[in-house]
Amino acid sequence: SYELTQPPSVSVSPGQTARITCSGDALTKKYAYWYQQKSGQAPVLVIYEDSKRPSGIPERFSGSTSGTMATLTISGAQVEDEADYYCYSTDSSGNLFVFGTGTKVTVI
């Protein structure tokens, strides 16, 4: 089955830049989406279609892709950005979705 691989954890100091990677073979052809999930809450969409930001999401969140890797960048991370982040995409068929393994972002 298709898999999306993320680093388990990323640490960043307040005001610095955090980058979270997501690796998957089909990312060369399929969109990546990114979700933020804080403890005990439902996920929140922060990036869709590789690099688009939903309304209400701060500009410090950005997305990009290159080859088989998608990257979520938090520029000038804030304490409130501490959360688990998941990438999300489809397999090559476009019908079956999968979440990445998840990355815990710590802002300290």
Q: Please report, as ranges, the residues that interact with another protein according to CB under 8 A.
A: 1, 31, 33, 35, 37, 42-45, 48-49, 54, 84, 86, 88-90, 95-102
Question: Least distance (Å) from another protein to the CB of residue 100?
Answer: 8
Rounded Cα distance, 80 and 6, in Å: 21
Rounded Cα distance, 96 and 107, in Å: 33
Question: Least distance (Å) from another protein to the CB of residue 58?
Answer: 16
Other C-beta atoms lying within 10 Å of the C-beta of residue 51: 16
Identity of the residue, 71 or 90, whose beta carbon is nearer to another protein in the bound complex: 90
Identity of the residue, 76 or 106, whose beta carbon is nearer to another protein in the bound complex: 106
Rounded Cα distance, 58 and 22, in Å: 21
